[in-house]
Every structure is written in structure tokens, then in C-alpha cells.
Amino acid sequence: MGLYQSDDQADTGDLIIFRLNCPCHSGIANPEWRKVLFCQFTIMDVPRIFILSGPLQSGKSSALMHWVRDKRACGFITPTSDGIKVLYDVTHMRYYEYELTEPRHDTLIIGNFFLDKKAFSHADNFVDTFLQQMPAWAIFDEIGKLELEGSGFHLTVDRVLKSGIRNILFVARQCLIEGVDMTYGNGNALHISKLDLDHLI
């Protein structure tokens, strides 16, 4: 049991990803593998990419809000407040409008959802500012169809991937895990649940 630099090492310019020699690539149920993946892997000088997923309204964002409190991180979390999603800047601990109850002149309409377009520029600005200090983590809650189509937060994510940051955590719906993995993790991201957060170091 252990880690190895595989023949599948992918060089994508600024981003190098190593495939894990782990029989539970899409879940981390074995405590011994947790020890390997979350402790031993930290000594390798390569980015680690994680995709956090789980059922809708299962507390993923709430778990992230608790977990990130003692982390040097940039990015955003989208917790629910009064029934709608808000954008939380994890660096400055500020909230911004994200999901709206009705369309406005600066609204992005996605199906039955109304999103504040300014949220995307807010995210880009506070991520860009903190990247200069090279945080330990970048968090994106969440990545969806917009980003996979090259819109939404895609450009912000792309800059972070090329920045040399050590750890990147994406939140994605279960139906989009494969797409997010292939788009941003080259198929080598580690898939986790909220129960695994406490094992990330």
C-alpha cells in the first residue's frame, strides 16, 4: 500500500497531477488509505485536487464553512441563507448576493434560478487578491454546468489551476463529478464526501 508516480503522470503546463495507487479512487472508506492519502501525500510537492460531492441539501456547504475556519484559503462557499444561496468569501469572511428571488437587469438566468452576475466578478477579485499570498487551499463551491461550458467561474478556476497553489477543492453535484474531474483534474482528482474533510491537512 502506498503512493507512486505512475506512468499516467500528466503534464498540463503549470499543473502536474499524480494518479493515486488507491483501490478506492471514488471514496475514502478505509482508515489506512485516509492516512496515506491525507498525510503521506502532503509531502509531495505537487497540487492535490479534490472533488467534494454528496446528495442535494446534505450539508456540504455547512461542513465546508466549519472546516475552512482554520485554513489559509481563498475561494468561495455558497451556503443557503433564508432559502437562497449566498456567496461567502472565505478569505475576508464576507457575504455577497448570489442567488436572487427574481430577475434584475444584472441577472443570469439558468433554468428556474436567477444569479447575480456581480457575484462572478466578486469571486474573481477576491481570489486574485489572495493568490498573491499563495494560500494553502483554493475552494470552489460549487462547480456546475456553467463552468463546464466555459462560463460562470471558469476563468477564475483556470487561473487558480495555473497559479501553483498546493490544494484545490471543488464541490460538484454527483451527476457532474466525471465532467468536473476531466475538465479540471485531468481524470485524476480524488473524490471525497463531507465526512472526509476532517482528514484533509
Partners of 86 in the beta sheet?
Answer: 97
- The residue among 32 and 169 whose pLDDT is bigger is 169
Q: Please determine, for residue 35, whether its predicted confidence score (pLDDT) is greater than 60.
A: no
**pLDDT tens-place string over residues 41-78:** 444 555 799 999 999 889 999 999 999 999 999 999 99
CATH at 166:
3.40.50.300
C-alpha cell at 192: 471525497
Q: Is residue 15 part of a domain?
A: no
pTM score of the predicted model = 0.78
- The residue among 201 and 76 whose pLDDT is bigger is 76
Q: Please determine, for residue 105, whether its predicted confidence score (pLDDT) is greater than 80.
A: yes
**pLDDT tens-place string over residues 90-99:** 999 999 999 9
Residue 112: what residue type?
Answer: N
Residue 168: what residue type?
Answer: I
Q: Is residue 25 part of a domain?
A: no
Q: Is residue 9 part of a domain?
A: no
Q: Into how many domains does the chain fold?
A: 1
CA 46, CA 164: separation in Å to the nearest integer?
9
The C-alpha cell 479512487 sits at: 25
Q: Is residue 156 part of a domain?
A: yes
Q: Please determine, for residue 10, whether its predicted confidence score (pLDDT) is greater than 50.
A: no
Q: Is residue 166 part of a domain?
A: yes
Q: Is residue 123 part of a domain?
A: yes
- The boundaries of the domain holding residue 73 are 31-37+48-199
CA triple 179-49-10, angle to 5 deg: 80
The C-alpha cell 441577472 sits at: 107
**pLDDT tens-place string over residues 126-155:** 888 888 888 999 999 999 999 999 999 999
Partners of 116 in the beta sheet?
Answer: 107
Q: What per-residue confidence (pLDDT) applies to 13? A: 37
Torsion of CA 41, 91, 78, 148, to 10 degrees: -60
Q: Please determine, for residue 182, whether its predicted confidence score (pLDDT) is greater than 80.
A: yes
